[in-house]
Structure 1
């Protein structure tokens, strides 16, 4: 066995073999894959092999699409039939709400070039008469979709990997991983058969690897312990049953090709043909998480006992949908572990806090994602960045606050939600509330309807007593919509308070801090007491993180970034500071997120709210432009609370962010509520804020700002200082302008607004996509932001946005359509 390699992949399922294959195809000629048992012996062997292109995530859609396209090429390359049956995928709808979901998905699919067809109940019955359609609204059909044999495709990828020089070693288990400073030392133990079990032998070997990838599937928690990290990849039971041959299907097949895969999400199941019978795979309520801490030593290619009572409802609904299946007996059954994560997306990318350690864990749709996961992870490892934004699958989207209990319960919820409607305004209830600011109970008492980001509870909007957020969810304007409209208008006309405590906050200080941040970010550094908006770039020159930077002292800075990405930002920041300490001097990075609460005050009456609370020798002038200019920061006192006040407003109105000691939050809240009675203070949630920032063309990280666009493509030239050297500068300039960010006003339907997932067209040409969407109270119509071809970015350009399966006229508008001169945000008083 080789003892030194460029990359070691741990895990021989579909995901691991794909990663090894793609690393070799990307040019790494010294790759090894180890598997503790046999290839495919984990969840791969009992997977149903479905390849659903349907996904509401832009990144996951690309990953799945790559897999489907890639698997079709394997036989020509390897000579092995990957077992891909391109039979199509029919996704049916029993309700108008479900059809709304499909229409939103279809617009997203168009941005990635995924083909689909619309079918009426009559169309379905004509083409597939075994399906009952009298209670259906319609369906969406993917003709390029189907199913694949998991073992065959894994073996084909393994052969392709071997042909490209990958060494694959079976019956070796990773038992220890140690970072030496420039490589990983991985202790492997030979596994041997003993009494039908697989047990460790006394034979060990140490492999030195520059890079390690863990694709350990059900063993993810064991892997996490060896690495000293947390990751929420925990399996959940998934059952499916195989029936005896259905005579009606056998007869139909005499004159027809294979039946397409059927999905009835409203009944929570998929069904596909299997040797003249059917495979039923339900996603029922009550499926338990397993292996929260470890996989039992004797568990190999094993299964759990079937629980037919748990899936009785789904089984009966299959009989309803395919009446010929009623008298067909059961032939086989499977109940095996499938790894999940709390949001259903895999953990694919760098491990938090570790160097050259890559995670590929938590794949609930592992066969579907394996090909694309290998392709895009190989791009990250070999080239430094993937061509698509991988933030939504980055392992660092979960912070160290995440526990085993949280992961297990959320993963059970994630499983149960596979076939529930994926509302864009959905907020799932499990494990909540967990991370709360001190004012949470006060906000709840005033009608706050909370969303969750990175575990934090944040008000989305405020509603009257008795209002149900659950019942208000919709793919159109939900019951919350009017409340958000009123909140947005309150900020435009009066004054509002937004709880922004969840912001990620880091202090960077030390002798090397200034030189480091000057290299780390692309904008000029602010002077002491001032702030700036700036960006940290990837090695590919794309946007890695957005920061509001406050300079507290000569070599001390306060960095504020998106609330959902504290660990994601912090890990990147800490590693970069460590890398540059030898060049710039000592740099200290502190995560102070939980030490500071934040209330954002915004609106033309902001001064009227704050003046009565201000403890200052001249409170009338303390908040004036002269003493407290726009884009500056000062330490002030409001009541008995010391506040780091920052004059900036994400809403585009006069306002301040009030950063305060978290333990004093309730005191500050109560004083603000008292002072707010006179100016008519309105409590405002994140949904209204999201609309308001679009009226100002303010980009948001995770939507307009991502690792697949440069700041120049985001049209942020004014925040890029080309006179200095900074990380990613050369790559940014070499990339050029492929697409460019624009703001659009949309003459859309009366009952719906865009969600930021829709395709943008010019005539019949697909020319871009929305990244944000909503309603503009200033213009009385829908608004959106997105990316289009540079030749279509001029204000006045007429385009179309596809919503609810129709094209709606849209016009590119000038930057910051609301108050383009920033007169309101700079107003004096």
Structure 2
């Protein structure tokens, strides 16, 4: 066995094997270790489905790659992976479900995934065993189907070996140690004894430049060995196999085509043919998490006891949908662990705080995702970045506040929500509230309906003060939901009067020390602000694309306060710290990075009357001049006193109106809240949530990280030239310039349906051709039209260019506007007083 490799993959399921294959294909000296046998984890009892349906742009690319890749394996390796390309039929019992499918379908178009719409009559004509009278229609993917999980894994393993990858079975990693330049793993030989897998006395040490963990159900053990928190915990998933169905056998004997994988999402199950019978896989309520801390040593390729009572409702609904299955007996059953994460997406990318350690954990749809995971993770490792933005799957989307109990509750919820309607305004309720700002109860009493970002409770909008429990659930829709009128009034309040937004969830970091200025000048692409001033800037990847967005506040010559998106606090902290370490290792002076997110609360007050409200609270010798342009110009910072609260006030406004961000000691938040509410009463102060703020920032063409900004576009492609100082050297500059302009970010106004706005996932067309996609969407109160932002071909990125937006399976007219269509000259934001 090799004792040194460039890359070591730990875990021999479908995911780990696919990663080893693609690293080997890229020319890396790679070895895979499996503690038992290949496929002995969740892979062996997976149903092998390959669903292309996914609302995530990144995950859709991953699934699409897998489906295409698996079709090439037999020609490459000589092994048949058992791919049955029967298609995937997603049936809908309601218009809301069809709305969901239509939103997904426009996203699928941006990836190039084919689909068809079928009416109930067309379904019945093709597959007469399916009952259709209570269906609205269906979405059909003709290019996917199901595959044999063991066969596809073995085919990838053979392909990996052909690329020189070494695969070693019965070896377990018991310790990971970083030497400063490589990983040193202590590995133990495992052996079978009495049906169990036990450790022997044989050990070896393996060193590797890079390590990938793809340990599936053993993720909690991996987390302990690495000193990490990894919210990947398995949940029971059971499926049953019936005896042969005589009517199905007769249908097939008469020349009937094999049924596609049938999904009745409203009934929460999938069904496919299996040797003349049926496989039923439900996603029921009450499935418990297992192995919260570790997989028992005695558990190998084992299963749990079946709980038929728990899936009785789903079983009866299968009989309803396929009446011929009613008299068919049960042949086999499976109830095994399938790893989940709180949001259902895998944890894929660099491990927090560690060098050259890569996580590939938490795959609830591991067979579907395996091939694409190997492809895109290998790109990240070998080339520095993947061709698509993988940030949505980054393990650091969950910070150190995450606990085992949180993961258990959210993973169980995620399992039961696989087939629940996934509204774009969905907010899941398990493990909430958890992280709350001091003003939370006051906001709730005012009708706040909360969303969760990085564990924080943040008002999405303010509904009726006496709103009953479940009000927000009932308000959700794929169209303009019940919350929409409240958000409209909030947006109008900021444009016409004054509004108050809780932005406490913002990520905040202090960067100080003798090397702070030189570090940040190299770390970001814009020039640094002068003391007392503010700049918006971007940190780039090695590929020259946008890694993070920061508002930099310069407090002193070598003292900076950085504000970034709340959802990305751990992601930003990790990148800051690792890059600062690289800077110092290269000879730079000392830089200190401190996460101060929980020390500072933030209220954003904005609107034409915002200065009037604050003037009532400012404590100063000449209070009426404190907030004037002369003493407090746009893009500056001042320490002021608001009542008894010392406040670091930033003259910025993400809404594009006159306004300030009020950064205050979080322990004083309720006092400041009460004083602001009192002072605002005479001026009609309105409480505003995140949804109205999102609409308002689109009216100003303000890009947002995670939508317009990401690791698949440079700041020049994002149209942020004014924030890029090409006269200096900065991280990623050469790659950014070499990339050129592949697509351009634009703002569009849309004449769409009367009852709906785009969500930011829609395809953009011109002359019947796909030319781009939206990344954000919503409603503009200023223009009384739908609005969106997105990327199009550079030759089309001109104001006045007519486009079409795909919504609800129709093309709706849209027009590219000038940059910042609302107040393009920034007169309101600079208003004096």
Asked if these proteins are the same fold (TM beyond 0.5), I'd say: yes
Tell me the secondary structure at the aligned position of residue 425 of structure 2: coil
Tell me the secondary structure at the aligned position of residue 584 of structure 1: coil
**Aligned residue for 1:656?**
660
Pair 1:544-2:543 in alignment? no
**Aligned residue for 2:557?**
554
**Aligned residue for 2:736?**
732
**Aligned residue for 1:187?**
186
**Aligned residue for 1:528?**
531
Q: Residues 3-36 of structure 1, C-alpha deviation per residue, up to 9 Å, x if partnerless? A: 01100000000000000000011121x1000000
**Aligned residue for 2:340?**
340
1:487 to 490, 500, 507: 490
Q: Distance in 2 between matches of 1:551 and 1:372?
A: 42
Q: Distance in 2 between matches of 1:198 and 1:775?
A: 59
Give the alignment's TM-score, normalised by structure 1. Answer: 1.00
- After the TM superposition, which residues 44-83 of structure 1 pair with which residues of structure 2 at under 5 Å, given as runs? 44-83=43-82
- After the TM superposition, which residues 586-625 of structure 1 pair with which residues of structure 2 at under 5 Å, given as runs? 586-625=590-629
Q: Residues 250-289 of structure 1, C-alpha deviation per residue, up to 9 Å, x if partnerless? A: 1111202321110000000000000000000000000000
Pair 1:565-2:568 in alignment? yes
- After the TM superposition, which residues 12-411 of structure 1 pair with which residues of structure 2 at under 5 Å, given as runs? 12-28=12-28, 30-254=29-253, 255-411=255-411
**Aligned residue for 2:676?**
672
**Aligned residue for 1:792?**
796
Pair 1:506-2:505 in alignment? no
State the Cα distance separating 1:122 from its structure 2 match. Answer: 0.4
Tell me the secondary structure at the aligned position of residue 578 of structure 1: helix
Tell me the secondary structure at the aligned position of residue 2 of structure 2: coil
**Aligned residue for 2:783?**
779
Tell me the secondary structure at the aligned position of residue 613 of structure 1: coil
**Aligned residue for 2:764?**
760
**Contact 2:15/2:370, CA 8 A, preserved across alignment:** yes
Tell me the secondary structure at the aligned position of residue 191 of structure 1: strand
Q: Residues 527-574 of structure 1, C-alpha deviation per residue, up to 9 Å, x if partnerless? A: 000000000000000000000000000001000000001000000000
State the Cα distance separating 1:466 from its structure 2 match. Answer: 1.9
Q: Residues 361-388 of structure 1, C-alpha deviation per residue, up to 9 Å, x if partnerless? A: 0000000000000000000000000000
Q: Distance in 2 between matches of 1:92 and 1:151?
A: 29
**Aligned residue for 1:412?**
412
Tell me the secondary structure at the aligned position of residue 147 of structure 1: coil
Number of residue pairs matched by the alignment? 828
Q: Distance in 1 between matches of 2:633 and 2:588?
A: 32
Tell me the secondary structure at the aligned position of residue 616 of structure 2: helix
State the Cα distance separating 1:584 from its structure 2 match. Answer: 1.6
Q: Residues 31-87 of structure 1, C-alpha deviation per residue, up to 9 Å, x if partnerless? A: 000000000000000000000000000000000000000000000000000100000
Q: Distance in 1 between matches of 2:164 and 2:96?
A: 50
Q: Residues 71-129 of structure 1, C-alpha deviation per residue, up to 9 Å, x if partnerless? A: 00000000000100000000000000000000000000000000000000000000000
Q: Residues 321-341 of structure 1, C-alpha deviation per residue, up to 9 Å, x if partnerless? A: 000000000000000000000
Q: Distance in 2 between matches of 1:68 and 1:342?
A: 25
Tell me the secondary structure at the aligned position of residue 701 of structure 1: coil
Q: Distance in 1 between matches of 2:824 and 2:803?
A: 22
Pair 1:636-2:635 in alignment? no
Q: Distance in 2 between matches of 1:355 and 1:82?
A: 35
**Aligned residue for 1:581?**
584
State the Cα distance separating 1:581 from its structure 2 match. Answer: 1.1
Q: Distance in 2 between matches of 1:239 and 1:313?
A: 14
Tell me the secondary structure at the aligned position of residue 85 of structure 1: coil
**Aligned residue for 1:683?**
687
Q: Distance in 2 between matches of 1:130 and 1:186?
A: 55
State the Cα distance separating 1:303 from its structure 2 match. Answer: 0.1
Pair 1:749-2:759 in alignment? no
Q: Distance in 2 between matches of 1:430 and 1:634?
A: 40
State the Cα distance separating 1:198 from its structure 2 match. Answer: 0.5
Q: Residues 506-547 of structure 1, C-alpha deviation per residue, up to 9 Å, x if partnerless? A: 000101000000000000000000000000000000000000
Tell me the secondary structure at the aligned position of residue 86 of structure 2: coil
Q: Distance in 1 between matches of 2:584 and 2:268?
A: 54
Q: Distance in 2 between matches of 1:500 and 1:489?
A: 19
1:806 to 782, 805, 810: 810
Q: Distance in 2 between matches of 1:403 and 1:568?
A: 17
Which blocks of at least 5 consecutive residues in structure 1 are unaligned?
A: none
Q: Distance in 1 between matches of 2:743 and 2:324?
A: 52
**Aligned residue for 1:647?**
651
2:828 to 810, 824, 827: 824
Q: Distance in 1 between matches of 2:509 and 2:86?
A: 52
Tell me the secondary structure at the aligned position of residue 23 of structure 1: helix
**Contact 2:27/2:163, CA 8 A, preserved across alignment:** no
Q: Distance in 2 between matches of 1:252 and 1:508?
A: 70
State the Cα distance separating 1:642 from its structure 2 match. Answer: 0.3
Which blocks of at least 5 consecutive residues in structure 2 are unaligned?
A: none
Q: Residues 423-478 of structure 1, C-alpha deviation per residue, up to 9 Å, x if partnerless? A: 00010000000000000000000000000011000000001112500111100000
Which range moved further: 582-591 or 283-292?
A: 582-591
Q: Distance in 2 between matches of 1:772 and 1:253?
A: 47
Pair 1:470-2:473 in alignment? yes
Q: Distance in 2 between matches of 1:27 and 1:297?
A: 36
1:518 to 510, 518, 521: 521
Which range moved further: 255-264 or 508-517?
A: 255-264
Tell me the secondary structure at the aligned position of residue 553 of structure 2: strand
Q: Distance in 2 between matches of 1:194 and 1:90?
A: 45
Q: Distance in 2 between matches of 1:480 and 1:409?
A: 27
Q: Distance in 2 between matches of 1:79 and 1:378?
A: 24
Structure 1 runs (4+) deviating above 3 angstroms are none
